[in-house]
Amino acid sequence: MTSRSHHRSHKKTIWTRLAWFEPFWLLFMAPSILLPGRFWEAWLQPYLVMALFLFWPIRRLAYRQVSVATPLNGWIAMLAAWLPITLWISILPEQSWVAVGYLGLGIAAFFALINWPTARQRPYLLAWLLLAIGFGLSLLGPALMDISAGSRMFRIPQLDARLGLLSAALGEAVNPNVFAGALVLISPFGAALALEPRWTRQWIWPLGAGLLSLFALLSLVITQSRGAYVAVIIGLLVLVVLRWRRLVWALPFVIIGVGVFAYRLGPAAILDQLSSDTSLAGLSGRMEIWTRAGWAIQDFSLTGVGHGLFNPVVSTLYPFFVLPTDIPHAHNLLLQVGVDMGLVGVTAYLGLILTVFYIVGKTLRRAAQHRQQAEDRAQAERHVLTWTLAAGVTAAMTSMLVHGLVDAVTWGTKLTFIPWLFYTLAALLYLGPRRRIRKRRRSRAERGIDDSEMNALMIADVHEVPMVETAE
């Protein structure tokens, strides 16, 4: 009996150690998913997408469950379950598999990280990963951008000469709006860590986060995306109100001032300018796109037209009168999800977003209460960090939704995985770090489990007994 228990615990330790490498497996697979056809033949794309989930059975063997439970799991499962339908309906499966790969990478990253013991115990590591991604985009993005077409607010010859220098050499170009869609998430998030520095005793970390946020903001200006400008301003306003609650009383005056300003300039003129960017000029162009997207959702309400097929389907079935035929997406986040996946996909995605706001709201309230009840400075700093990260996620999600009113660059693009990292951080903060020590009827000596094996079991299972900051 003792040898059998010893054998089972040894097998569990092996699977647990193997499951720990899942995030690194996704990191290895990411280039093949984000650059389809660059490293492998195009016909291998479906197999590469399915390989993202290779560690799921390993995780089941290691933790005795596929995933820890979170409030987001149901909506994500609904979204993932509908993907085969969008592939079945697709008239261009090769193109749909590319778009599904972008979404699949985000889903796989979510479940890999919320089940990763290191991320569960240290969610701030994910925060620094997001800031590192933002720094990389801010550094390399302008050299990969092509803003030669469309409406532009300003021209700086010295700057224009440096834009897109790497795109020809690498064979990859970043649309400025896609670039802006990522930065509207990163910039408010970094600002949150800078505006509330009490989460650490070392001033260098808030300063570094603030500088990274400022760098992202400067890079955002280069994109000349008006919608992104408005989105990041609103996200920062939300962050400031969360940080200094008394400023909420100033919001009515701000709203009145903005209303008077808009009335004097003319609402139509303002909307027309805000709807312009480097790929599409004016509100009228977007209205034409939104109308076609609505028709597509009406005609394909259950299934959608197929993942990633807005351009070939919409431009063929609902031709544009004024715009060119190479419009890549619906220029509205929810409309784009509806065109791709029908009303089922919109319901799942909207439920996911609303649940993210719900859990970060609960995390904010819980962290604020625990900070007041902290017994020592270290404990208070931990609760302040939780609050700060949750506030950053709230501001980032707000910016994404505002930008999503006039663009859809966080869905079906190479940077689709970035919002999923924010969903992951929201879930990690809500769950809190946990470890499991199961109550056993027999002692470890009776079961033949030594101290090293017991430690392995404790590290392996981080799913049940709360330590701090757990959900109510």
Each of the 472 residues of the chain gets a pLDDT tens digit; together they read 455 554 555 556 888 899 999 999 999 999 999 988 888 888 899 999 999 999 999 999 888 889 999 999 999 999 999 999 999 999 999 999 999 999 999 999 999 999 999 999 899 999 999 999 999 998 888 877 776 544 455 556 556 666 766 666 666 677 888 888 999 999 999 999 999 888 888 889 999 999 999 999 998 888 888 889 999 999 999 999 998 888 777 777 777 776 666 666 555 555 555 555 545 556 677 888 999 999 999 999 999 999 999 999 988 898 888 777 778 888 899 999 999 999 999 999 999 999 999 999 999 999 888 888 777 778 888 889 999 999 999 999 999 999 999 888 899 899 999 999 999 999 999 998 654 333 334 444 444 444 444 444 444 444 443 344 444 4
Q: pLDDT tens, 431-466?
A: 986 543 333 344 444 444 444 444 444 444 444 433
Digit-coded pLDDT (tens) for 68-118: 999 999 999 999 999 999 999 999 999 999 999 999 999 999 999 999 999
What is the Cα 348 distance to its own chain's centre? 15
Q: What pLDDT, on a 0 to 100 scale, did the predictor assign at position 150? A: 46
pTM of the model: 0.85
